[in-house]
Structure 1
Amino acid sequence: MGTGSQWSRDKVYLRAKHEGFRSRASFKLIEIQEKFAIIRRDDNVIDLGAAPGSWLQVLRTLTEGRVLGIDLNPIAALDGIETIEGDITDPAIQQRAHEMLGSVSVVVCDAAPKLSGHKSYDQARAIALGEEALSFACNVLKPGGNFVIKSFQGADFPELFALIKEHFRAVKTYSTKATRKGSTEIYIIGKNFKG
């Protein structure tokens, strides 16, 4: 996220910068963790669509396990974080992630597709990205694992929610306080992967 003028007086953005996080998104994960306790101290965690790395920074503080970020774009180095540059739909990338971490307890994804400005197209792309992240999670998570994904409310949203419900014993939606007013952004939290 650029430091465009729209952010210059944004309290959440300024707090993120002040506390050394790469973006305001950090606080969304902190809030989700406080409410849902998705990450335990020894969990190995994969962050999909991890660039620029603000969720990775938070994850490093939440677990003593291994933390892996995957993105199509390079992720600037962070202490104690492993990264893979590649496509999450590529089976070779999924295999590599699994080999690096062994047991994976949590998969998170705060990625959003590049927006075109066409609402229905962007919505469909976001749902497709959600399905790709879910597929990745189902391939690497151990039974009982947790999943967090950003999505957007719209016509296709119930379909993604239902799909996640097929794979996790408890599924909830959550809008964070750090989300900009008027945004349709919503997080889906899947707990206790059926395996």
Structure 2
Amino acid sequence: MNAVEFFNDVARPNITAAIQADHDYKLAVNAVLSVDATYGILFEQLRDLGHPFLHNVAIKSRRWGMQDGDFKEHIAKRSESFRAIRDAAYATKHGRLGSAGRIVRAAEDVASLELVCGLFACGDPLGGSAVFIKLADGTLERSWSLLRRTELYTDELLGGLGLAPLTCPIPEYHDAFHPDRN
């Protein structure tokens, strides 16, 4: 299964489920972990293709060569929402992260919280809850919002890499780059 297939068949449905039931911790964690897995698969696919995108990725350890962590760090510098999702996945898998560069540092930073004053948003049910991701600066971000922004970024990236159709919702944008479609 390539990165586009995994993203469309596994990660995207998990993201959709997490957004539709934004109170469900299990669905949020499944979505976070499947997004992280998508990028691991994408790295291997790009490496197998010898894709030029990888030429700009900084390699942390010359001894081991480029690793998926190097690739994910490169992506995290381009997308703050992916950075939060990646760090949430790592924190969930490892319990606690020691690196000062991480914006999510512990598994408990991904949690379902009761919607009280300050966390309540338009459309939230009274007495409800939602899954939040606590960033290192103390900011609480709704998991669904980070997941959705990462989904849009991933669509853009896959299209830009030539692995999937461009998904911009504005047809005129694509027509400007593909005059044969007019």
Same fold (TM over 0.5): no
Say which structure is richer in helix: 2
Which has more radius of gyration?
2
Say which structure is richer in strand: 1
Instruction: Name which structure has the greater RCO, CA cutoff 8 Å, separation 6+.
Output: 2
User: TM class by shorter-chain length?
Assistant: under 0.3
